Chains A and B, each alone.
Chain A
Amino acid sequence: MSTTIETPIGAAQTMVLNMGPQHPSTHGVLRVVLELNGEFVVKAEPIIGYLHTGIEKSCEAKTYSQCITLTDRIDYLAPLSNNLGYCLAVEKILGLEVPKRAQYIRVLLTELTRCASHLVWVGTHAIDLGAMTVFLYSFREREEILKIFEYLSGQRMMTSYFRIGGLALEPPPGWLDKVQRVVDSLPGHIDEYEDLLTKNKIWLGRTQGVGIISAADAIAMGCSGPMLRGSGVAYDVRKAFPYSSYDEFDFNVQTQTAGDCYARYQVRVAEIRESIKIVKQAMQKIPSEGPFRAEVPGIIPPSREEMKTSIEGLIYHFKIFTEGFAPPPGEVYQAIESPRGELGVFVASDGSHKPYRVKFRAPSFVNLQSLPKLAEGRLIADVVACIGTTDIVLGEVDRQTRRKKGFMQLPPALEEKFTTLLGRYPVKRSALIPMMMYSQDFFGFLSDELLADIAQRLDLNLTEVTETLAYYSMLRRKPVGKYHIQVCTNISCMLRGANELYAHVQKRLGISNKEVSPSGTFSLEEVECMGACTGAPAMQVNFDFYENLDPEKVDVIFEQLQDGKKPTPVPVISGALHERNPNEVVVISKNFGIPNSRSIDMYMQRDGYKALEKALKQMTPDQIIDEMKKSNLRGRGGAGFPAGMKWSFVPKDLPKPKYILANGDESEPGTSKDRPLLEMDPHQLIEGMVIAGRAIGANQGYAYIRGEYRYIIDIVETAIAEAYAKGFLGKNILDSGFDFDLAAHTGAGAYECGEESALMESLEGKRGYPRIKPPFPAVVGLYGRPTVINNVETLSTVPAIIRGGGDWYASLGTPKNGGTRLYSISGHVNKPGIYELPLGFNLRTLIEDVAGGVRGGKKLKAVIPGGSSCPLLSADEIDVNMDYDAVAKIGSMLGSGGTVIIDEDTCMVDLARRIMHFYAHESCGWCIPCREGTTWLRKMLDRFHEGGGRAEDIPLIDELSKNMLGRTFCPLGDAAALPTISIVKKWRNEFEDHLHGKCSYKPAEMILGAH
């Protein structure tokens, strides 16, 4: 969940750096994606389209005259050049002759424009490369030129001074004097710049030999202007295709041959001098009198005088400025030499009053393609020089990037991850959720652009991607803080002070749920159970767990984070490492606490993979299933279905592929027993899965692990790699001819995906909606193929059963309830933790002996026997031997082994409220009773607990729960209803107490309405 990109830099590694859009150095809105090998640029890709003004398209909706004001904005450093190009094009299509006086004035002004533009260039280029002074000087001189423009047109930059047929206005008297002053002073200033730069060692170092482009390349890339002339090609539109009487002027085309940044500097500086030469000639040529525009009735408006005194003039004026004029149908191309190169204007007329099409060949757009050529292979510092030397104006680039065929360029590590993921599944879409999760690691959130890219990679419709994303609570479309703090407030944590802790965190960070701190350092989220129940209260920073917290410990963590240090997270789940209780019967937890227990070597030293050898070499698949049946192992996920029987339902001799799925989406509040199995003994699970695969004839397995257990996925993936290396996975395992492949798969935050059919939907890359049963997964499962899906604990038990035999295992428990299981005991006990106890173990002993009794000598009030979906037991119901059948007999369930102990100080209305918050948050929304019922109940219980209850609410809460019960699509509705019904039934007096005042146990300071 880290938001920074940490890519190691080495010989074989490149990193991707995003440069811009920014001012200065990428000149406004250019973005360059650089791939770097150390300091060297491997690849430079200009990304454009941030300044899409749509000018060409807008022209189609305007009359020919109105378009002129739009052209100002194309290249905002040379508006008069754009005016000229466009006007010449329209004049060409009209066949219109412009008076000489206007032509010369146009030449004079566009040459001054060239000077102004080059002055901006030299100044900004210098400042980009570290020379400050020139920037200040050149802008000073440019201002003098802009003053002339302002004197003529009233505008410094957006002049629109040229009009079709000539000029907008008669130039005001004395304007040439102002030009004269500039012409006189400018050459001296240029000398000053040259003094500062031309022989400056730093300048030479930064520009000479930098950004070289050969003449051939420059031509091939369509470069023009100084970009081309700096490489020795003497192409200039003014000479090649003279316009506006340029053929009457004496000037030289400036070229240099080196083709580097310095050469282009030389060219531009020389061009300023050359332009002054032209301006001087123009001043001589311009007649003091004569028309400033052509006289063509119907196209050129009559004079103001005419318009104000004659009705005909008024009508013509009116028509030209409202309807406009209509050139004959046809198309023209007209090019001029703008400061940046060949500016071409294409105008197509369909004979109407508005252009059918206007298209600009903008020199910046074309010249920009040379950037990769200039920058690649150079140092990163040269990139700034290379961008500057192209002298682009982004307004002119003005193109929207069209989605390329091909995909987004992503960090190589992510690309690699994508490739791995795509190779894992028979159906590409399965990679969707992991791809989104890993992308989020890199970018902190999922941008629209990235989602579209992922859709393209997976051949999906965008809807399919966004609707999947929207389902999972861990996937997000907006950035979070650098440290994303997630605090669990579900029951196990709540019972141990999570509400107070969460309030403290909010205060400390100054932000509330789902907010990001102003500095962007922290963001906060109140989350549902994250499987740290035995270490409650707990929180996650990015993906790291911190457990057994209190406000002081939290303060220390935040202080360290603010100092840029990483506080040490819990090494392994709290509660798994404790002194063994004498009552424990250690079977599957035997490796807990052993140093290095997750490594394959240690695992093999401790009987690891012996069961697999036995299963493959000494047993037939049917024998394995028989052994499983004999063991009386019942599913540890919660439903308690006999595992051997489940396996036997898979049709034999079906030619379709089959699958083994490990359900590691442990998210039942109060339950954290798969987490230690996965993090301390992943090989036990792998061995179990391979044996299961052998038993049913499956050759592929997936371990679906909830998204919050991110570090565990890495552990499991490491273990899988070890198992492949040792030949316990892959082709022809232990020379048995049996093949089995296995991969870990990440969830993304959804309790519902613990339901087996929803898990398969999720694994297929879809929203985690449950499926209609029948057909059951054993017949129609993942990808519509036979699938055995078992809880992680169930599968982890398999090796022990194969080693010790089914009968042995069964003998550990009670009839029909074989073996041992892990209890995660949390809540108000002295020794919360994970304990392995035989089936049929007495609940009272579990509380009083194993868990060390109720904390602080308090009286016991209630027990949740197996996760928050179970009906609660009251203190007088705990003399029960915990096996599936015995607990069912007293009206509850053994469930997932998440045993939560609740003491006398707990408000049961508050507890009911908190439980309902969880189910309302996790309801998938597919079926009505669960979707609406959980939320309705949540709102009612909130109100009730806050003191707004009514007498009729108590039976209504009971009735609404019963209205959900047994009528929902999947058991989530039951899971929400059952505890509520039991609380209303057994602790009705507490509800009644609330009617006469507020909660008698606690002031209502809990955090409400978070979801």
Chain B
Amino acid sequence: MAEQRQVTFNLNGQQVVTSAGTLVIEAAKKQGVEVPSFCYYPGVTPSSVAACRMCLVEVEKMPKLQTACTLVATEGMVVKSDTEQVHKARKDMIEFLLSNHPLDCPVCDKGGECELQDMTFRYGLDHSRFTEEKLHYPEEKWSPLVYFDAPRCILCFRCVRVCDEGMDVKALGVGARGVHSVIIPNQPGQLACEECGMCIDVCPVGALTSGTYRYQTRPWEMQYVPNPCTHCSNGCKTTLSVRNNEILRANNRDQSGVNGEFLCGKGRFGFDFTNNAERVRQPLVRRNGKLEPASWEDALEEVARRLKQVRDQHGANAIGVIGSNHTTNEENYLLNRFARATLGTNNIDHHRTADYAGLAAALGPNATSALATMADVYTAPAVLLIGNDVTQQNPLAAWQIRSGVRHHQTRLYVINGQESKIHRQAKLLVKTAKGGERAAVRWLTHDEGTFDAPTTEALGQLKSALEAEKDVAILFGAEIQGPALRDLVSFGARIGGQTKIMALGDYSNSRGAADMGVLPDRLPGYVSLQDSGERARFGKIWGAEIPAAAGLSARAMMDAAVAGKLKALYVVGANPVKTFATAQPDNLGRLELLVVHELFLTETAQRADVVFPAASSYEKDGTLTNTAGEVQMTHRSIDPQGPRSDFDLIRILSHQLGMLGVGAPIRLRTPEAAFDEIRQNVTGYDLPVSSLLSGGAPQSAATCKASEPSYDVPLGNIFSANDFLFTSGSLGRYCSKLTSTREAKDTPWISSPNIQSWWYR
């Protein structure tokens, strides 16, 4: 990029230096000078619209007032934003705006955080000169999540633009004209869209309100807790608005974090599972074939006793542990220690949704510089996307790509065997057969394999285009694993500049689970079990010798359980019965003990001998790692009302087992203490705590010592969860608002013509 030229202009008597091309409104903001605006909304649109006329400023040598949102600062320009004329103009605009605004602040959700209220209070008149009748329209319910109150609308068009340019959905438009102009949804009286709620978020007034939040509370009555979203792997920051121990709203209030202003429907509306009536709130123990409530003491005692029994009778390898891809890093780390040191088995795994371990092995020590952050996806001049439906499965990554394309013409190259809306942004798209992405990557790297003529030609174009690029960001889904992943890494290394790479997984802490070694063959930080020195090191910290032989994968554990070879299965925050569907569930009857930590009675929990009610990530402290490796703190925003964190459960259980002579009790009392141990012992996790505490998302890069020429996981162990914008594993079912939308009721998107109709048009 050419070096930015600087210009100096005069703002209210001060000399201001700014880069050429900066809008006066932005330059003023940096100087701490407020130039009010409604329609100007940085980031969402490349274009300003100059509709609200609030940002009028005086410019020397220009006869009329100018809109600061369209005015580019030029050398020597003299701008005045605090003259009498400017203040009068603002006052007049507010007066015009309020002429048809209803008198309903007392019942409007936006009251207290309304930009129109603020502007009126700051710049407007204290009385009205308008004596005519105002316009009236009834309120409309566009979806269970989006309500529209036309009279409140000030027609800043932010919603229309964010829906079109930001989300690439274009479900909103403008109807009629003049004073009757009104925002209209894409279907008569209702919306058919992604239900992301971005329109509600950007609305400066109470015209668009949220179906989950309306008429609930006032903004000053709530506390605001920042938390990474608990649904997909992108780790958007969502601010939970909490009152009386209840989450009432989620939005990214201050637009900070990896996602800026972006949130999808899951992040914005998918929080009400926390107080779902079906939540398990006390321990359940199976007695006479039925799960019955039990005291914590009895349940813990029973689990410890029976675990010891299995271990004594069948050995430690008859026990399996399946971890979670949405529990915290600390919990995963503890679970790892619990399995390997306390129980003494390497049978530990989780549902792997991307080949993070394979990526670490392929990159080796290069991982530190090669992993892409979410910001990299936006800034990269070119993006290569392989597999995955990012729009549906990784909404933030898709937003970053779209923003890049919109703001600085990112060139998007796609190889995909399935449909995805992001293809609209693609400069070159290679459509392979379903599952053909691996072969395409092989062809790119080694020129091996044959395709039909059009595919070959498309691949050829893609290859030569990529070879001419530099600083490419490569994103890939679960389709790419094992040898294909190594091919891709080596192809990436051939491209000029600094190639950045990102594996796209599912669930909020998939990457964290892999980083923390919830894998049968890897210790935290992708340390190989074969490395005796490392094994000894962890053994020393954990107070037990770690067995050397790799354990069973999650799928193999389920098979072994059906076969009667595995006697006890300890499941934390996972639903393997559903996920792996390998066995007729009732064959699990051959297990002697099935323990589950869960929020709800999932298919797995229903078959458990003991169910521990678990806290969700909105109810506990800890850290989560998103798919890009960015680590964020999660906070206890509400009290879990019965359930306990998985962290506490594992810790307490280790004490219980210790009393029975099994393993050493875990003495890390808090997640903070555990994170300290992680920082010291897991490569790539030595992150600045200050950054985490201040709401940052420093990138971790759990790194292998050397790149490994062959690290393969048998097929069928790494696979996508195939969640779409309205599902989220077992959790999504309990997000009642999210599932109440018409779109959520459609069958998953790939096969559904209904979705296609609102999706692709």
User: Which residues from chain A sit less than 8 Å from chain B, CB to CB?
Assistant: 402-403, 448, 455-456, 461-464, 466-467, 470-471, 750, 767, 772, 920-929, 931-936, 939-940, 943, 956, 963, 966-969
Contacts and interface: CB of A to CB of B under 8 A. Distances in A.
A767 B155 contact: no
B563 to A, nearest CB: 26
Given A456-B761, A471-B174, 9 more contacts: A461-B170, A467-B175, A924-B177, A925-B178, A928-B155, A932-B179, A935-B99, A939-B133, A963-B89
B186 A461 contact: yes
Given A467-B173, A967-B89, A929 B178 contact: no
6 contacts: A403-B757, A467-B174, A470-B174, A772-B48, A926-B49, A963-B96
B40 to A, nearest CB: 12
B52 interface: yes
Q: Which of B70, B176, B179, B186 has the most CB of A within 10 A?
A: B179
B65 interface: yes
Among A920, A956, A967, which residue has the most Cβ atoms of chain B within 10 A?
A: A967
A332 B56 CA distance: 73
B181 interface: yes
B180 interface: yes
B179 A923 contact: yes
A767 B179 contact: no
A966 B64 contact: yes
Interface in B138-196: 154-155, 170-181, 184-188
A455 B187 CA distance: 13
Contact of B96 (A922, A936, A943): A936
Given A467-B184, A929-B53, A936-B130, A923 B761 contact: no
Interface in B706-761: 753, 757, 761
B586 interface: no
B93 A928 contact: yes
Contacts, number: 125
The secondary structure that dominates the B interface is: loop
B181 A925 contact: yes
Nearest to B65: A967
Nearest to A772: B70
A925 B155 contact: yes
B51 interface: yes
A462 B51 contact: no
B310 interface: no
Contacts of A461: 170, 186, 761
B65 A966 contact: yes
The interface residues of chain A, by DSSP majority, are classed as: helix
A932 B97 contact: yes
Contacts of A963: 89, 92, 95-96
A924 B175 CA distance: 11
B61 interface: no
Nearest to B101: A932
Contact of A929 (B93, B170, B171): B93
A463 B129 CA distance: 37
A932 B132 contact: no
B184 A929 contact: no
Nearest to B129: A956
A936 B92 CA distance: 13
A470 B177 contact: yes
A466 B97 contact: no
B50 interface: yes
Given A466-B184, A923-B179, A966-B65, A928 B52 contact: yes
Contact of A928 (B65, B97, B170, B172): B97
Contact of B179 (A448, A455, A935): A935
Contacts of B99: 932, 935-936
B70 A920 contact: no
Contacts of B22: none
Interface in B5-54: 47-54
A773 B179 CA distance: 23
B173 A929 contact: no
A218 B350 CA distance: 58
Interface in B91-114: 92-93, 95-97, 99-100
A936 B132 contact: yes
Contact of B51 (A466, A921, A928, A933): A928
A464 B154 contact: no
Nearest to B180: A925
Given A928-B93, A967-B65, A463 B173 contact: yes
A849 to B, nearest CB: 37
B497 to A, nearest CB: 30
B179 A927 contact: no
A749 B179 CA distance: 17
A772 B39 CA distance: 14
Given A928-B96, A929-B53, A967-B65, A463 B178 contact: no
B424 to A, nearest CB: 11
B174 A767 contact: yes
Contacts of B97: 928, 932
A931 B174 contact: no
Contact of B186 (A463, A772, A924): A463
A934 to B, nearest CB: 7
Contacts of A463: 170-173, 184-186
Given A772-B70, A966-B64, A927 B50 contact: yes
A934 B178 contact: yes
Nearest to A950: B131
Contact of A920 (B56, B175, B179): B179
Nearest to A767: B174
Considering residues B47, B172, B186, which has the most beta carbons from chain A within 10 angstroms of its beta carbon?
B186
Contacts of B174: 467, 470-471, 767, 925
B178 A924 contact: yes
B199 to A, nearest CB: 13
A735 to B, nearest CB: 41
A402 B95 CA distance: 50
A956 B129 CA distance: 9
A466 B52 contact: no
Closest 8 pairs (CB-CB, A-B): A467-B173, A925-B181, A932-B96, A463-B173, A939-B132, A963-B92, A923-B178, A935-B179
A467 B175 CA distance: 5
Contact of B175 (A456, A466, A922, A927): A466
Interface centre among A767, A928, A932, A968 (most CB of B within 10 A): A928
A385 B739 CA distance: 51
Given A925-B155, A932-B99, A969 B180 contact: no
Contacts of B89: 963, 967
Contact of A967 (B49, B64, B761): B64
A907 to B, nearest CB: 21
Contacts of A403: 757
A920 B129 CA distance: 19
B183 to A, nearest CB: 10
A402 B756 CA distance: 13
Contacts of A922: 178
B747 to A, nearest CB: 14
A499 B52 CA distance: 36
Nearest to A469: B175
A624 B633 CA distance: 70
Contacts of B175: 466-467, 470
A71 B729 CA distance: 39
Contact of A927 (B52, B132, B184, B188): B52
Contact of A925 (B52, B130, B177, B753): B177
Contacts of A466: 173, 175, 184, 186
Nearest to A750: B177
A749 to B, nearest CB: 10
Contact of B181 (A402, A931, A940): A931
B187 A929 contact: no
Interface string B458-499: 000000000000000000000000000000000000000000
Given A463-B170, A467-B173, A936-B99, A931 B178 contact: yes
A924 B51 CA distance: 11
Contacts of B179: 920, 923, 925, 931-932, 934-935
